[in-house]
Amino acid sequence: MAYILHYTYRRQKKVIIIDIYFIKVGKVIIKKREKGKSMSNQNNNLERQTFAKTLGRGEIWAFAFGSVVGWGWVMLAGGWVTSAGTLGAIVAFVIAGLVCCSIGMAFAELCPMIPQTGGVLVFAYRAGGYKFGWFAAWAMAFAYVAVACWEGPAFGTAVEYLFPSLTENATVLYSLQGYDLTLPWVLIAAAGTIFTIICNYIGMSFAKIVNTIAALALVAGGLIFFFGGVTLGDFSNAQPMFQDGFSGVFIVLMAAPAMFVGFDVIPQSVEDMKIPMKQVGSMVILAIVLGAIWYILMILGSAFGAPAAFRESATIPVADIASYVMGSKIFGSFVIIAGIGGILTSWNAMYIGATRIIFAMARAKMLPPVFGKLHPKYNSPTAALLLVGALGLASIFLGSNALGWFVDASSFGTVVAYFCAAIAFYKLKNDEPDTPRPFKAPLGKFMAVIAIVCSGLFICIYLPFSPSGGLGGMEWIMVALWTVIGIILAIAVKNSSYAKITKAEREYLIFGEEYARKEIVGEEKAEA
């Protein structure tokens, strides 16, 4: 068989574009390389798009910390004190922080080791192959999507608190879970969702600016609340220290994983980063530690700031407590502004996490190809963004009180993905001990065992036999629907001609030329 290679160079806006024509007897196959992309000789028939490196240390930190903190503390911190007591709630978050640190070690070590978009997809596929990688990635995608979905209702509730006149006389569309949905509230929530979609559509360059400003507002407002609550509040308000023993602690622990979701976004955006890989690992752990400290501060501010009866009756607990203890609603407004900052940072981060893991799965031909395309100008995963945005818009119509559903459901998806990452962590220590690791977790394999045990125990919290009672009916419905959608997509894609590629080709699509395992690529080359 004869092959003829023809190439031409064309200059367009100082960018060299290479056209490659492979001519086989009686057949012409035309492939065009991407602008500025390299392609291995063995895989020159595959398209592998990558992201532009635009994120510096400050922007990464804004995304990481902002996504960990988010909005949940504004609505839930008062309830944590009610459910577990002041010390009980703190104990729950200390436990959650330590557990997440052990799991974070897996991400901190594996992300710089294989710095490719996809996070748990990359780790799990490397350790266990296609099915394990797919399962882990789909669970993580569910967690991101669920968190992204609650941000719209959270934004509507926050703006409603700042400007109550917008909704106080509005006609109620319907009531759900005790919350009255009005047209202005729906429009506000939808406007915030659309703004976030546009931010991410335009690309990382704009999203990182919005995120940095929002993170600064978040920190400022949160610290005002903490110091005001502790200095102007009363120790008697913080009683009892423990409520309902370990049952109360377990109830708070159920929500805790969703409160820490965000450090795992760092591996999702690793292809966007322009910092040394060793620093990436350190930032993962730092995001978890500072997140735990933040939640403890908010618990203390809530506990000291107002009596239990007031906390239980509050509409937006932390904001109402701030107004109560500082004697003016303006301080509640400061908290809401901080919360909006948390919403925007978390919102952007979850969109980044969700869209990039969906993109990575599609790039590896595990999802329909439309999700594996980047916008030619903005370098954003457009189809994945529209999917997550559509789900976010739909979630608005569940009302503000659906927050609890999304928190618990996303927490379950999170810990399942963490369990997969911990297994991959252990297995890769065995399988690839000599692969360079810019960041090395302490304690070696023992740390991997701790991560497996901790994430496994976390999963048990959500099961029906748990002291917390496990997930509710609505949460299981959400998990079931996502699972069914995943199974349908997996079967459809697996059986399509689009996904008929070799193991070496998928290796290249997931890991790129630099990080693909040479023994797999070489073995297939030898067979050919």
Segment 441-473, tens digit of pLDDT: 888 889 999 999 988 888 887 888 776 667 778
pLDDT reading at 23 higher than 50: no
- Distance from C-alpha of 295 to C-alpha of 134, rounded to nearest angstrom: 32
pLDDT in tens, 37-54: 443 444 444 667 666 666
Mean of the per-residue pLDDT values of the chain? 80
Whether pTM > 0.85 for this model: the answer is no
- 30 or 397: which leads in pLDDT: 397
Looking at residue 390, its pLDDT comes to 93
- The answer to whether residues 193 and 389 touch, using CB atoms and an 8 Å cutoff, is yes
Looking at residue 275, its pLDDT comes to 76
Rounded to an integer, the average pLDDT of 129-158 is: 89
Which of the residue ranges 92-106, 167-181, 434-448, 473-487 would you say has the lowest mean pLDDT?
A: 167-181
Rounded to an integer, the average pLDDT of 471-489 is: 87
Rounded to an integer, the average pLDDT of 336-364 is: 86
Binned at pLDDT 50, 70 and 90, residue 522 comes out as low
Which of the residue ranges 25-34, 36-45, 89-98, 411-420 would you say has the lowest mean pLDDT?
A: 25-34
Looking at residue 26, its pLDDT comes to 35
pLDDT in tens, 60-111: 777 777 778 877 788 888 888 888 888 888 988 888 888 888 888 988 899 8
pLDDT reading at 326 higher than 70: yes
Q: What share of the chain has pLDDT > 90, as a percent?
A: 14
- Distance from C-alpha of 398 to C-alpha of 208, rounded to nearest angstrom: 29
498-506 contact pairs (CB < 8 A, 24+): 498/365, 498/368, 498/369, 499/365, 499/366, 501/46, 501/365, 504/42, 504/43, 505/43, 505/46, 506/130, 506/364, 506/365
Start-to-end C-alpha separation, the chain: 15
pLDDT reading at 19 higher than 60: no
pLDDT in tens, 297-320: 999 988 888 888 888 888 788 888
Q: Which amino acid is at 420?
A: C
Up-side HSE of residue 233: CA atoms within 13 Å toward CB?
27
> Highest mean pLDDT range out of 274-288, 409-423, 499-513?
409-423
pLDDT reading at 113 higher than 50: yes
Binned at pLDDT 50, 70 and 90, residue 525 comes out as low
Q: Which domains occur in the chain, in start order? A: 3-32 (no CATH), 62-493 (1.20.1740.10)
- Distance from C-alpha of 76 to C-alpha of 403, rounded to nearest angstrom: 10
Rounded to an integer, the average pLDDT of 355-371 is: 89
What is the DSSP-derived secondary structure letter of residue 170?
S
Which of the residue ranges 141-150, 240-249, 353-362, 430-439 would you say has the lowest mean pLDDT?
A: 240-249
pLDDT reading at 244 higher than 80: no
Looking at residue 527, its pLDDT comes to 54
86-113 and 403-431 helices, crossing angle to 10°: 40
Binned at pLDDT 50, 70 and 90, residue 524 comes out as low
Instruction: Give, in order, the Cα–Cα distances in Å from 210 to each of 54, 157, 199, 345, 349.
Output: 14, 20, 8, 8, 11
Looking at residue 5, its pLDDT comes to 39
Looking at residue 132, its pLDDT comes to 94
